Amino acid sequence: MHDFTDTNVLITGGTRGIGRSMVQAFAEAGANVAFTFRSSTDEAEALKKQLSNAGTEVLAFQGDAAQMEAAEEAIGGVVDAWGSLDVLINNAGITKDGLMLRMSEDDWDAVINVNLKSVFNFAKASYRQFMRQRGGVMLNMSSVVGVMGNPGQTNYAASKAGIIGFSKSLAKELGGRGVRVNVIAPGYVATEMTEELSDKARDAMLDAIPLGRPAEPEDVAQAALFLASPAAAYITGHVLHVDGGLAM
């Protein structure tokens, strides 16, 4: 098991699905954990209480990750409270699926802003802190859809593909300061978001997975623990597929 004692971690979109699983996994590994959320206040309070009762130091920040002010508040809050930011995981994301012919400009903009601009916001807000520390880890959550594409998800695919290019470029910028930037690209994960898929789309995706099952959020959380740990000290600019072989 990876030991994150005395490590300060911030995870965006931390109240549900993969985000919640990562929050819990890092807390169980001994980290101080902060997370952001936009509107799921009840879930955030319940998670914060659960972690606090288990002895974890925890911070929660409400705000829209697509807004720079929210990123600056969260990054600043973590550094003010704990003195450093050791691991940043950009996980906030939404879907607004539809064929391009019927996709509205608002649906395009919303997905790009929440999924891609939020990564820029939190990376920008944490950049100087990581530089001053001369160390740290950033993990950005992409998707198998950003690698393979998927009908009806042009906005989502564009946002997730953009995260990959962004992360590779940032890894080259920050590598000289000892900061590692990597990407996790989950496949079909059993979460509330994927429950919105049609039965036909769900069955087709399962048929294409060599391991024959969807991922659980915990599968992705374990990958995050590895990439954030000293065991991955020589890995940067990498895209780790957690997809059961779907993107082969």
- Contact status, residue 59 vs residue 51, Cβ threshold 8 Å: no
Q: Which residue has the tokens 């994960």?
A: 189
| Calpha distance 136→129 (Å, rounded) | 9
| Calpha distance 68→21 (Å, rounded) | 25
End-to-end CA distance of the chain: 28
Q: Which residue has the tokens 């064929």?
A: 99
CA nearest to 181, candidates 230, 227, 138: 138
156 counts as catalytic: yes
Q: How far is CA 234 from the centre of its chain?
A: 21
Which candidate in 127, 156, 188, 234 is catalytic? 156
Q: How many CB atoms lie within 10 A of CB 145?
A: 22
Catalytic residue annotation: 156
